[in-house]
Amino acid sequence: MALRGSAGDAMNQLKTLVLLTALTLLFVLFGRLVGGQVGMVYALLFAGLVNLLSYYFSDRIVLAMYRAREVPEEEAPELHALVERLAQRAGIPKPRVYIIPTQTPNAFATGRNPRHAAVAVTEGILQILNRDELEGVLAHEIAHIKHRDTLIMTVAATIAGAIAVLADFARWFLWFGAFGRDEREGGANPLGLIALVVMMIVLPIAAMLIQLAISRAREFLADEGGAYLSGKPLALASALAKLERTVAFAPMSDANPATAHLFIVNPFGSGEGFGSWFVNLFRTHPPTEQRIARLQALALQMR
């Protein structure tokens, strides 16, 4: 069963494409200014190599980071049954199933493609969610795998990383006086130096904000995809509300900020109630209240 689409689904797919295009244009423009064609290639190759290794070994790295243990089917038959049924509906191979030894309720999916994927849930989430809510969470994670979000986020991280590398190049070049030379006067061009310094500061931040916006768009897509897979959007909405409240009270203290976007809710808590538009720009996840409202609207459409 393929994931059904909707106007919201199409809009978030388009948003991802537009944001990736904007990120690429930032890289091209900044790259030409800082290092020309050669500098662009070196920056992209360096960032690409780092992120390719992370992408290829993503499942092993993040699962080891959180001491996740692969759980056999006989130990957790209901969990395995839910994952298998949802994977069949999504038309992908059944992911491996892991449990993370922490009482903070959360879950994530990882793996470079649907054939090398894993779903991990914490001990805490198994204790606070009922069966329908757990199915909604697992469907959300299966949707991430179906949508190949690990690949999309790796591409975004590679381009944003390349922009950061170029900014480092620019700092070195400025240090050695390689920029801003006015050849006719034999001195520095103050306006050129100021423009470069501004771009060195602004463009990496802009790239990071675009990367975060892509992450938020993929979360909306996974919510919608998970709602269609499980057929229970209100159960997923209820699960998100429970997770948000619990994580806000007891965040995952040993979580790595670099992996926060993987979890179904931010493991450090998302700071609901402090959601100004400016704060929202720096979120890895959309505000949970927005996600719940969308799922409630989707439930009305699915009747």
- The reply to whether 123 belongs to the active site is no
From first to last of its 303 residues, what are the pLDDT tens digits of the chain? 445 555 556 666 777 778 888 878 777 777 777 767 776 777 777 777 777 777 787 778 899 999 999 999 999 999 999 999 999 999 999 999 999 999 999 999 998 889 999 999 999 999 999 999 999 999 999 999 999 998 888 888 878 887 887 788 777 777 665 554 544 445 556 766 777 788 888 888 988 998 899 999 999 999 999 999 999 999 999 999 999 999 988 899 888 888 899 999 999 986 554 456 677 888 999 999 999 999 999 999 988
Indicate which residue of 75, 84, 135, 141 is catalytic.
141
The domain spans of the chain are: 7-301
User: In angstroms, what CA-CA distances link 62 with 8, 59, 153?
Assistant: 30, 6, 15
Instruction: Name the one residue in this structure whose structure tokens are 């009270």.
Output: 249
Q: What is the model's pTM?
A: 0.83
